Structure 1
Amino acid sequence: MLKRHYRQTRKVQTGMTELSFKEDHYEAAYESLCLRSVFQPIFSIAHRKAVGYEGLVRAADVSGNPVTPQELMRKNTASDQQLILDRTCRLLHACNFSQHPANDAWLFLNLNSQCLISERPDIGFMQTLMRESDLPSRRIVIEILESEIDNRDYLRELITHFRQMGCLIAIDDFGAGHSNFDRIWDLQPDIVKIDRSLVKKAGHSMKVERILTGIVSLIHETGSLVVIEGVETEKEALVAISSNADMVQGFYFAKPKPDLQQEIDFGQAMDKLLHQHQNVRSQYNRKLQQHFRTFELIFEKELDAFKQGASFEDCGHALFDDARAVRCYLLDESGYQIGRSLNSPKYTAKLDIRFTPLLSGVNANWSHRHYHFRAIQNPNMTQISRPYLSVAGSHMCITVSQAVVVSGKTYVFCCDLDWPDEDQPIS
């Protein structure tokens, strides 16, 4: 077994190259290259500390010139040699990781899915790795690119094997390539790592940010934790927090280094980000309220007229003087729509006739909508919904609503207002 802090060289009897202990770390010789380990922290947002580290390889030629991971992978394309390289890297990372006190932190190890497919190796190698590194299985997270393995039975076999050993399973780069939720539901990984491409796009688009939040929510429903990787900017870090992800990884927090970077004060950095996130959310809510303050005054005036006996049609049409008003409709206490919807003349002129089956609200029931049950729970108080996609016309809108009692009956008076492109600032 490779013992800590001893200068020695040992060849592991699995057809792999030698690991040499140099001062305070292990190195591996592969072909004419020297391989070393670096580790990038994975931080828990809630715990405000590093809970895991991803092992990554760094290579250099005989002159000490760096060789990129891409060049390393291209150096020998034979599948059996790729398997040797894959195992060499995993063992190298495990042995180096075990040199550092990391409490109970996880080590994330990547599997080369392509060589696993072509070689179908003996999957008992991980037992050798744990024996040689003295690293318990509970601290190892196996990262798998599920999109690269089409044979689902073999993929299940791999995952079952690692689980029986006591390792955790992570699906890597979800959201890139051909990733799909069907695999997540089927494989039930412990952790899903969302590809950088999504958080990068979400950092520039509120629409994509909303989609990312939905993806995180769906993954949580499967019983998996979520890591958003590739976070490189403060905006992307805030997006990761807003999406309700569990963990984050990326250059914004820490670059990969040979040590475990335990001196990083992630708690202070996260406190700052959480404070900014709260400020952004508060500013957005204030803008939302301010944007519709003028309309609320008109809305309250027409509601007073409705309470005094004016017809819904007269009150509804008066609201269309505001260009943002799209439609008005009246609901009963149970959420059933009373009569037809009143559409703004400006909105009617640009209606998309392809959505005609959804435009009529007669006999519709909207009790499941937040603007109805919030109004019922808070009578005589105007409610403003968050932006949502309206089924009537398939456009983004917000709904202003209020529950009132007229002649002993409870009604919910509703008006939808057009919501601008979410990627445009609120005027």
Structure 2
Amino acid sequence: MNAPLRGYSLGFIQSMLTDESGRASGWFQDLELRSAFQPTFSLPQKHAMGFEASLRAVDPKGNPVSPETLFGPVQNYAETAMLDMLSTTIHVRNFFSRRPSHGVLFINLHPEVFLDFDNSAGFLTSLFGHYEVAPHKVMIDIPGSLLEHERLDDAITCYRSIGCLIAVDDFGVDNANLDSLWRATPAIVKIDRSVIADAMKRERTRRSLPRAVSLLHEMGTLVLMEGLESKDQAMLAIDVDADFGSGYFFGPHVDGVTEFSEPHDLLNNLWTSYRQQHASLRPDERVTRVSLENETLHSSQASGLRKASPADIARYREQRHPYLAAIQNLAAKVRSGATLESSSDAFLGLEGASRCFLLDDSGRNIGADIFSASPPARQSADFYSVVSVDKSDWSRRDFFRRAINEPEVVQATRQYCSLTGYLHCVTFSMATKAKNGKPVVICGDVDWSTHARTR
């Protein structure tokens, strides 16, 4: 298949490429177009999970040309579409020919090209097929300005049908209407960099952020904080429970992904500073679940997440009993010296159970996670497995903090969107002591969508 985009086939677009030392660039009029990539980090896993592609253009004299100049007011849609597909082709070619396939590529489409989904999706299908790219490794960013567009739902459905993931870009907090976000059901919401900058200056915004992130998690989306430029901003992103972070604090853009090296020391030092300065100050989950009545985040759907009838609550408590008992039984075995792997069968045999994992008293993983042999089907992308690390840090999460603050009592979270791809995850946890006397926290994840939707 070689689908045309308003007359431009993949073959025609590729004719505008040049290749030097394995790196592709493109030519548009008299401008040279190149790729640059900014890493996006899974904050708990302290590791890059993907890269956002940016376009770099230079004129014949070597002067940079801004994307705003390139993609200015659209007077000729055909030219805009050609430029957008050319830049996307450059990014896909450079990323997937030079990077192990488990990385996620974030791409931006011009709003008009995004909404021309019948043509754009056909071109992307040809592009992915040519470079042997798994479409679920590509995340398309939707500008926040399109959330109210009448064609948005159809566009999202189309791009999802070819396998792409969806993110909402430049999302603000003040006066945000979440009903449109609810309909879009993105895998990731990117909090605009202006929000984090404002939170560093205004206490009101700083107080709102944890509640906003908590609500987004309950709505079934993960959260990325963009534009982190300082250690304090990065620690704030951790403290408000963001899943991902990006920005110049972690390092500059790279021209090629093979030039990127993980900033292990920087991320480890960041988490050490966070635990020393912030962990004891962060409000727990019950504080972030305050009433929405006076919130600036408006959504009739989201408001329903925080309401439950007495009958719903009673049913939920009854449904939890087998999981509470299984975690208690697992803890007893760990106290006696058994391994997590040999002790997890009873919990993982329960309906919806997906994994068990063990943390030390600082919130860091001990050993490998134990997964169910027959896990429930995931409803979203599994970003957790994108990053293969065994030293994740969960000290900011409520399932850890509540367990450590109340040892020998099983805790249960509300439903939230998990990095493992479950939109209605409930984590059961319990702090106890291993046979050697060291404190540990035993955790188990359950996909609660297999139960009644009581949140």
TM-score normalised by structure 2 residue count: 0.56
The AA in structure 2 aligned to 1:171 is V
Q: What is the aligned counterpart of 1:28 among 14, 26, 29?
A: 26
Q: How much does 1:265 deviate?
A: 3.4
SS in 2 for 1:232: coil
Equivalence for 2:157: 160
State the identity %.
Answer: 30
Cα distance in 2, alignment partners of residues 210 and 197 from structure 1: 15
Instruction: Tell me the amino acid that sits aligned with residue 26 of structure 2.
Output: A
Using the alignment, how far apart are the partners of 2:174 and 2:214 within structure 1?
20
CA distance in 2, matches of 1:66, 1:216: 37
Give the partner amino acid of 2:159: F
Aligned length: 279
Q: 1-side partners of 2:170 and 2:31: how far apart?
A: 28
Alignment match of 1:73 (pick from 64, 71, 74): 71
Per the alignment, residue 263 of structure 2 pairs with: 266
Q: 1:29 to 1:48 in 2, by over 3 A?
A: same
CA–CA separation in structure 2 for the residues paired with 1:188 and 1:161: 14
Q: Does 1:215 align with 2:212?
A: yes
1:195 CA displacement: 0.5
Alignment check: 8 A CA contact 2:213 2:223 kept: yes
Which residue type is aligned with residue 79 of structure 2? Answer: Q
Larger relative strand fraction: 1
Counterpart check, 1:201 vs 2:198: yes
Report deviation, 1:184.
Answer: 1.4
Distance 1:118 1:137 in 2: 19
Deviation per residue, 1:324-365 (Å, 9 max, x gap): xxxxxxxxxxxxxxxxxxxxxxxxxxxxxxxxxxxxxxxxxx
Shift of 1:156: 1.2
Partner amino acid for 1:97?
A: F
Bigger Cα displacement from structure 2, 119-128 vs 236-245: 119-128
Aligned to 1:102: 100
- 5+ residue gaps, structure 1, are 3-9, 286-377, 379-427
Deviation (angstroms), 1:114: 3.1
Which ranges of structure 2 fall in alignment gaps of 5 or more residues?
A: 3-7, 283-405, 407-455
**Any idea what SS the aligned residue of 1:124 has?**
helix
The Cα of 1:65 is off from its aligned counterpart by: 1.7
Aligned partner letter, 1:51: M
Mapped contact 1:51–1:105 kept (Cα < 8 A)? yes
Match 2:245 to one of 248, 253, 257: 248
Identify if the C-alpha distance between structure 1 residues 62 and 220 changes in structure 2 by more than 3 Å, giving closer, same or farther: same
- One-letter code aligned to 2:38: Q
Question: How big is the shift at 1:262?
Answer: 6.2
Larger radius of gyration: 1
**For residue 155 of structure 2, what is the amino acid of its counterpart?**
L
Map 1:49-198; keep pairs closer than 5 Å: 49-74=47-72, 77-117=75-115, 121=119, 123-148=121-146, 150-152=148-150, 154-175=151-172, 180-198=177-195
Alpha-carbon distance between aligned partners in 2 of 1:133 and 1:276, rounded to the nearest angstrom: 42
Deviations 1:105-164 (A, max 9, x none): 100011111344479745311101202332111211111114236433x21111112212
Judged with a 3 Å threshold, the aligned counterparts in structure 2 of structure 1 residues 250 and 26 are, in CA distance, closer, same or farther, namely same
Structure 1 position 186, deviation (Å) = 1.1
TM-score (norm 1): 0.60
Return closer, same or farther for 1:118/1:164 CA change in 2, 3 Å cut-off: closer
How many angstroms does 1:99 deviate by?
Answer: 2.1
TM-aligned CA deviation for residue 75 of structure 1: 8.5
Contact 1:91 1:133 survives alignment (8 Å): no
In the alignment, is the contact (CA less than 8 A) between 2:141 and 2:169 conserved in 1?
A: yes
For the 8 Å contact 2:114–2:155, the answer to whether it is kept is no
**Preserved CA contact (<8 Å) 2:227 2:246:** yes
Secondary structure in structure 2 of the residue aligned to 1:74: coil
Contact 1:39/1:54 (<8 A) preserved: yes
**Structure 1 residues 116 and 140 mapped into 2: Cα distance closer, same or farther (>3 Å)?**
closer
Q: Please state how far the C-alpha of 1:261 moved relative to its aligned partner.
A: 5.8
Which fold has the larger relative contact order, with Cα–Cα distance below 8 Å and residues 6 or more apart in sequence? Answer: 2
Distance 1:17 1:211, change over 3 A: farther
2:245, 2:182 → 1: CA distance? 22
Counterpart amino acid of residue 241 in structure 1: I
In the alignment, the residues of structure 2 paired with residue 282 and residue 127 of structure 1 have an alpha-carbon distance, to the nearest angstrom, of 45
Q: CA deviation at 1:56?
A: 0.5
- For residues 218-233 of structure 1, the aligned pairs below 5 Å read 218-233=215-230
1:283: how far off? Answer: 7.4
CA contact (8 A) 1:117 1:149 kept: no
8 Å CA contact 1:98–1:135 kept in 2: the answer is yes
One-letter identity of the residue aligned with 2:94 = N
The 1:182–1:112 alpha-carbon spacing in structure 2 relative to 1, beyond 3 Å, is same
